[in-house]
Amino acid sequence: MTSPVRNEILHSSCTELRIEQDTAEQSFVLSEAFIGFSGHFPGYPIVPGVIQVLMAQIVAEQAGLVSQSPLAMQRAKFHRQLRPQERIVVRCTAKTVRGKSVIDAALLVDDELASTFWLTLA
């Protein structure tokens, strides 16, 4: 069973998933009514970090870049707030770093970097 948040993210996609070698990319637009904005923050909604991570995980899963849930998040940097109605591009690249499998994730709006992080896999 998938969660309501995961379902809303999936239904918020505005482009087809694109896969090229070890990189997958998909765009999303989250409406003001998106469940992930609940309480974050009333009157000034922004996309919580946990939702950004979930978006990257969804893209990586759909592309077959991961076969299990991530164990950890590393190297997280949040450069700008993500707001309702923005077209958020989620780009995930599978890499091996120091013998560990990671998903190198980047979220962008209008080619401006919004956040980056690694999802470490088992």
CA dihedral 50, 33, 66, 17 (to 10 degrees): -140
SS3 call for 42: coil
Which of these, 101, 109, 119, 111, lies nearest to 54 by C-alpha position?
119
- 59-112: per-residue pLDDT in tens? 999 999 987 778 899 999 999 999 999 999 999 999 999 999 999 999 999 999
- 60-70: per-residue pLDDT in tens? 999 999 877 78
Instruction: List 93's β-bridge partners, or say none.
Output: 23, 104
- Provide the whole-model pTM: 0.94
Rounded Cα gap, residues 78 and 54, in angstroms? 15
